[in-house]
Structure 1
């Protein structure tokens, strides 16, 4: 594991969102995430762009709540159930833990990509391509012009990105995170088997 990359990522982050899991409770955190959660239990980095969820039941945004079937995952009807989502970019695109490594997950299309074998490698990837993997420039532009992103929201395009939506703050809205993921799951179900040019029904 790249310890230096993890150190460098934590240096870019804000304060912990929850206290470290006490005593033996750290054993309930998946082993690959312990080097991260054990040092800082949830945080934002690069402004609001990268959100690492806390592992602490009862704390808003907790990993266990986020990964519960009835929060939003039911909309994907089992797709992505082999991933444990622990972080996301400013647009709500997910980072998930799998037994084979850490993946990015596009909630609009359910496409995934292996980013790293461990949490240090993931941190190195984030640092090497902050703009693309976190959306930091868009987050900065939003904050400068519109103020802080409301709590528990992510920026969503008026038109989904995979249908040509733009990474422009004039074409983005802050949407509550659960509502956004449920909407994207519904869009995914509508589009996954459609031929090019077919019509779909959109709307929050």
Structure 2
């Protein structure tokens, strides 16, 4: 993988590790998660700390994704995320993409191995790196444990130029979950008035 900013240390959460499919276990034994592509991809690890790197926190914890998003099953393994907090899930052998603004899930029609191949060959498309590239062109650097906040949200049609700001991952995921709860029952094309950004 290119642009590696962080590699997880040894496994300190054996309980979560034993619940994972063998192919993910094998990957995590070689490196217990990684932040690569300069923050464009974060594969979580089986660890207690740092909390932002913990797979268990978003799979089984208080803020587990399946407790927020209707389309996510408790058995879906949220093994990775992109630079803005969209999630990659394992459902059996299939890799799914969760849009964390809308809660919509898409089957990427690849297994874990081919997911890794795909991002190696086509990282910009596979990981949606455009916001990160724009942030970098503005002189920004995305530190491990942080995600890009995008305002106005991507799913909203807006004439306003989208602002990018690095925020702690937990803060970004909580904000996305709150936004999803507010819009999940709205019809497509619904007019929204957003509160001004606090930047």
TM-score by length of 2: 0.78
Q: Which of 138, 152, 173 is the aligned partner of 2:165?
A: 173
Secondary structure of 1:163's aligned partner: coil
Provide closer, same or farther for how the CA distance between residues 73 and 160 of structure 1 changes in structure 2, counting only shifts above 3 A.
same
Kindly report which structure 2 residues correspond to 1:104-143, keeping only aligned pairs within 5 A, or say none: 104-143=97-136
Deviates more, 1:129-138 or 1:47-56: 129-138
Task: Please point out which of 37, 46, 50 is paired with 1:46.
Answer: 37
Alpha-carbon RMSD = 3.2
Using the alignment, how far apart are the partners of 2:77 and 2:15 within structure 1?
21
Structure 1 residues without counterparts, runs of 5 or longer: 1-9
Distance 1:133 1:186 in 2: 26
- Which residue of the other structure, out of 72, 79, 86, is the alignment partner of 1:86? 79
Q: Matches of 1:142 and 1:95 in 2, distance apart? A: 22
Unmatched tracts of structure 2, length 5 or more: none
Task: Give the TM-score, by structure 1 length.
Answer: 0.77
Query: How far apart are residue 47 of structure 1 and its match?
Result: 1.2
Partner Cα separation in structure 2 for residue 76 and residue 64 of structure 1: 15
> What is the number of residues matched between the two proteins?
193
More helix by share: 1
In the alignment, the residues of structure 2 paired with residue 150 and residue 162 of structure 1 have an alpha-carbon distance, to the nearest angstrom, of 25
- The correspondence of residues 1-204 of structure 1 with structure 2, limited to 5 A, is 10=1, 13=4, 16-19=7-10, 27-60=18-51, 61-71=53-63, 73=65, 76=68, 78-82=70-74, 83-143=76-136, 145-164=138-157, 171-195=163-187, 196-199=189-192
How far does residue 110 in structure 1 lie from its aligned partner after superposition? 1.2
Q: Is the 8 A contact 2:16 2:56 kept in 1?
A: no
Higher relative contact order by CA 8 Å / sep ≥ 6: 1 or 2?
1
Maintained 8 Å contact 1:18/1:41: yes
Provide the C-alpha distance between the structure 2 equivalents of 1:109 and 1:24, rounded to a whole number of angstroms: 31
